[in-house]
Amino acid sequence: MLTKKTILGVLKTKKSLLATYGVNNIGLFGSFVGNNQKSDSDIDILVDFKSSEETFDNLMSIYDVLEKSFKNYKVDIVTKNGLSEHIGSYILKETEYA
């Protein structure tokens, strides 16, 4: 089964590629951070874009890279600017960055 350490390791190896799509920082949150994942858990990723590079095309490119990297898992991506004011602070507190 996939682990937090493995996911963060993959994110670190992809960091330079992801930077070409405007990624300033990328991290993991959700069940994998708390070690509460199940075999059908999705991978929750938080993306912080560089100023003015948060575009739909860049987001889809990042999604494509991550889907290929984690073939047997569903990947959910949230942007830092897209966080809900109600739960955003909780996500930011628990996110572990690559």
Active site residues: 42, 44
Backbone angles phi, psi at 51, to 5 degrees: -50, 135
Residues with Cβ < 8 Å from 64, sequence gap 6 or more? none
CA dist., res. 43 & res. 33, Å (int): 10
Segment holding 23, helix H or strand E:
strand 23-29
CA 45 to chain centre: 2
